[in-house]
Amino acid sequence: MSAAFSEANILIVEDNENFSRVLDAILRGVGIANLRFASGGAEALAALAEAPADVVFCDWRLEGMDGITFVRTLRGGAEPKLAATPVIMVTGHGDDALRAEAEAAGVTAYLEKPLSMRALLSALAEVMRDRGTA
């Protein structure tokens, strides 16, 4: 794993504590230590305004501001660097129409639950490679 990958700043936006722990274990297990957590879209936007992330993992279904609204708000923000933050949507919804809605909102990658470690890390590596940070 490259140093850039292991030094990545990751924000996880997930209101399910058990799934947050799964993501935490996978990412820490491969050496990523810079992890922050938000339980909803509004909290995630505040966290990004305070300290940008290299990549955001975001659930679709969240209390309050859902993941799609979060991505639309992020993409429409005034700060270009924040608006360009890659977002990997992790959701239990595999419907093609929902995938198309996520892509139209500006989601960078779309992963369906149940999630394999390989799929998660592959998406992260691809997003970081496309961004030039891995």
Question: How far apart are the C-alpha atoms of 45 and 133, rounded to whole Å?
Answer: 22
Q: What does the pLDDT read at residue 83?
A: 94
Q: Is 12 helix (H, G, I), strand (E, B) or coil?
A: strand
Structure tokens at 117: 């470690």
User: Which residue carries 């595999």 as its tokens?
Assistant: 94
Q: What does the pLDDT read at residue 1?
A: 46
Asked if residues 110 and 58 have their Cβ atoms less than 8 Å apart, the reply is: no
Q: What does the pLDDT read at residue 4?
A: 63
Asked if residues 69 and 47 have their Cβ atoms less than 8 Å apart, the reply is: no
Query: What backbone phi and psi angles, to 5 degrees, belong to 67?
Result: -65, -40
Ranges of the chain whose pLDDT falls below 70: 1-4, 132-134
Ordered by where they begin, the domains of the chain are 3-131 (3.40.50.2300)
Q: What does the pLDDT read at residue 3?
A: 56
Whole-structure pTM value = 0.92
